[in-house]
Structure 1
């Protein structure tokens, strides 16, 4: 099977090399010639820069990185990636998840200069990929006023629509390409609202008409009540809590496992959290990193994003301890790295993937009305989940889907990659496709990039089912 994967990846690369097309126009000086830590030729045309949003007295400068499709950028979809967090760098997904590069797995020591290599499962093999650091303050994005480092969902959607309309004005040659919005986790709160805003502005005759076709979300936040109530039943199904505790929780909490003031429920919930205290919320099979072993600066949680690669790597320090956040900072927060990536040098903030000083408020608690509006107008939706994530478990997405009251066109069934079950899927009316990625955790492409790549490629290339 490993040989088959290598051949498949090689075939993709060969096709990509034969089909690279130049971008017809781009802002002057936007093209990226070199990527930090990578010594070879870039696999396609890359561009980077800033789009300023807001008004003259209160500007926010959002950094973007744009990698054109390695297949045919003149017709392939453009996918914008919105990160969760709620305040994490979208650009970090370029090397941490779905982009053309990945950090070499041998680079595990804090004293090493990180190197990157090509990612055979980059989404740029099927689409042009636009990543944005949002809100201002994360990654390379910044604001002119400190007050702008306090924000919320509503303000962020306004900024992101402003960003997209201005970006397409600068890269107008891509306006006719199919456009999709993608994200994971907390971006489930943002993506459908942005899609709704694009749809509304298109109908009203906004400054640009974006060719929106649909959106995708993995392990998404969709409804604050459903998300939080899903943890207890999922933990029980996965054998993380006892039958006795679960039955007691059912009785004392009456199905409401969060924001409950009942003393008996709170007592049971306290026992619940004690029992799952050592569980990695992003992947229940991953142990937390428990040791300081010379390769991390401090005790930290396991970097779950690389589990399946590292379980089979050998290291005298142990595979569960690597500070990937530090590796990203060493790549991006240097004078040379900023020069190569067209990032501002003279801003007071260092590069951080998820800076802790962003003051963020969730003010959109349920997304049902946005999804109903968009799906009723024919937009395509792909919802997928790693089935081993306790953080926003797949069962919460299935429970939320019931709220839409859409008919199941294809009921729960396995889907396959190379004759192996890669997960399970349901197809609903109104162009909604749901799938699990078997064995993956939160953000499935971090754990099983090949299977996630195949699923996404099938969907974005027009398949109704996996």
Structure 2
């Protein structure tokens, strides 16, 4: 009988061990097992070799309640560090209607385009990006709104849209995406963007918080958001160009003093004839300046100031460029390179995108999307979110004229938050990498010294280092 008890005890222990092992096995299942069938990406266009981490792609359909469906394309690159614990960052591209793949390949994604001459002569090639944010987080991009990149709509009318409609679709997208990738629900979640997405990111963050506070539905583990050179307030942005140009030595002392006198601080949309006359001189003096980066060759982007440029990053800056320009690699046609990469049958198959007959030609910033900015200031959204303690990182390339860092500082002042750490340098490898201010309510601001409008396009290492410090929990750089 004692022997029987021993066997029974051992059997019970064995059953317990099996349960523990089963639980541990479940916990150790590689991320992505819960992904939709066929979502894993095995190859990336233009890249040879093993992908640096698990990648997934596909579509999420939104707008069913309207009986007009829009199909938003997404691409997920899982963290290379610790995907079960690392944050998930969704990238909302600017434009206001441009594909996130351009940021993935020119800024912070797992791949970077090789030399531009290669694109023109031999076809596009991409290589591993040593400063990819996937080394600290899982990156999720979504082509938004419908009509951008691989995303498409069932009805042509849905290619006419605005900020409010776009945010509604993005939240719908996220709630359904997390239902398909539920293993990421417990990970810290951040929303990120640059330029025009400064209009979208705070509104989407506000919507996530509001829905989280409601009963029922998906609960996203939202922690905060980040923005670079963001469009926040139309008046502040557009009135910042003149003083910034003066500070950077782009206009004369005499013209600046005349502008101050005749415009009285309102340089944009001023009906005063004397102010308008001086503004015409201002436009003439900066006509040849690259608004993306005032020190870079002027051929890379469309030059001069138009109403579209003044109001927001219009997406036209990436129009076709001369392949024979004197200025070299920077002046080659990067639009053509991206289209050669993504608008092919093989590229679509590798990335699980619909055929061109369904989604239309791949365009980074397609002309078929007619977009209206209907949210002109975001200051109240920032106040609402930051008052609840969510983390915010705002960073600016200090050589962007399109959305100057001075305009960002201006709207930050309007939040009326105390400066915990006043303007001071931040360092990387014992060198000054920029300047920073830390505000109360978890707001961190930093400049990236020498960078342009999308800072990681110009100084990816510096942006990578700053972003990793912040997303890993540092209060200051």
Instruction: State the TM-score, normalized to the length of structure 1.
Output: 0.89
Q: In structure 2, what is the Cα distance between the partners aligned to 1:440 and 1:372? A: 28
Structure 2 residue aligned with 1:180: 190
1:191 aligns with 2:201: yes
Shift of residue 303 of structure 1? Answer: 7.0
- In 2, are the aligned partners of 1:302 and 1:320 still within 8 Å (CA)? no
Shift of residue 316 of structure 1? Answer: 9.0
Structure 2 residue aligned with 1:32: 41
Shift of residue 236 of structure 1? Answer: 0.3
Find the residue that maps to 2:72 and give its secondary structure.
strand
Structure 1 residue aligned with 2:469: 458
Deviation readout 1:240-295 (Å, 9 max, x if unpaired): 0000000000011110010111111111111100110000000000122299xxxx
- In 1, are the aligned partners of 2:117 and 2:329 still within 8 Å (CA)? no
Structure 1 residue aligned with 2:25: none
Shift of residue 139 of structure 1? Answer: 0.3
- CA change 1:106–1:247 in 2 (3 A) is closer
Q: 2:347 aligns with which of 314, 333, 337?
A: 337
- CA change 1:446–1:303 in 2 (3 A) is farther
Find the residue that maps to 2:420 and give its secondary structure.
strand
1:41 aligns with 2:13: no
Q: 2:132 aligns with which of 122, 128, 140?
A: 122
Unaligned runs of 5+ in 1: 1-18, 292-300, 305-314
Q: In structure 2, what is the Cα distance between the partners aligned to 1:250 and 1:197? A: 40
- In 1, are the aligned partners of 2:150 and 2:359 still within 8 Å (CA)? no
Structure 2 residue aligned with 1:155: 165
- In 2, are the aligned partners of 1:20 and 1:44 still within 8 Å (CA)? no
Structure 2 residue aligned with 1:444: 455
Q: In structure 1, what is the Cα distance between the partners aligned to 2:173 and 2:317? A: 34
Shift of residue 348 of structure 1? Answer: 5.4
Q: In structure 2, what is the Cα distance between the partners aligned to 1:400 and 1:446? A: 24
Q: In structure 2, what is the Cα distance between the partners aligned to 1:425 and 1:280? A: 25
1:50 aligns with 2:63: no
- In 2, are the aligned partners of 1:288 and 1:302 still within 8 Å (CA)? no
- In 1, are the aligned partners of 2:61 and 2:72 still within 8 Å (CA)? yes
Shift of residue 22 of structure 1? Answer: 3.8
Structure 1 residue aligned with 2:217: 207
Structure 2 residue aligned with 1:380: 391
Please list, as runs of the form range in 1=range in 2, the aligned pairs for 1:52-91 lying within 5 A after superposition: 52-55=61-64, 57-91=67-101
Q: In structure 1, what is the Cα distance between the partners aligned to 2:300 and 2:126? A: 27
- CA change 1:411–1:21 in 2 (3 A) is farther
Shift of residue 323 of structure 1? Answer: 1.2
Shift of residue 122 of structure 1? Answer: 0.3
Q: 1:221 aligns with which of 231, 242, 264?
A: 231
Q: 1:97 aligns with which of 107, 112, 127?
A: 107
The 4+ residue runs of structure 1 with deviation greater than 3 A are 19-22, 106-109, 301-304
- In 2, are the aligned partners of 1:303 and 1:322 still within 8 Å (CA)? no
Deviation readout 1:145-184 (Å, 9 max, x if unpaired): 0000000000000000000000000000000000000000
Q: In structure 2, what is the Cα distance between the partners aligned to 1:87 and 1:287? A: 25
Q: In structure 2, what is the Cα distance between the partners aligned to 1:166 and 1:302? A: 33
Find the residue that maps to 2:167 and give its secondary structure.
helix
Please list, as runs of the form range in 1=range in 2, the aligned pairs for 1:218-367 lying within 5 A after superposition: 218-289=228-299, 318-345=328-355, 346-347=357-358, 349-367=360-378
Find the residue that maps to 2:191 and give its secondary structure.
strand
Shift of residue 105 of structure 1? Answer: 1.8
Structure 2 residue aligned with 1:424: 435
1:143 aligns with 2:153: yes
* Root mean square deviation, CA, Å: 1.9
Segment drifting more, 88-97 vs 365-374 = 88-97
Shift of residue 107 of structure 1? Answer: 4.0
Shift of residue 206 of structure 1? Answer: 4.3
Find the residue that maps to 1:319 and give its secondary structure.
helix
Q: In structure 2, what is the Cα distance between the partners aligned to 1:421 and 1:20? A: 43
Find the residue that maps to 1:121 and give its secondary structure.
coil
Structure 2 residue aligned with 1:410: 421
- In 1, are the aligned partners of 2:117 and 2:332 still within 8 Å (CA)? no
Shift of residue 25 of structure 1? Answer: 1.5
Find the residue that maps to 2:224 and give its secondary structure.
strand
Find the residue that maps to 1:347 and give its secondary structure.
helix
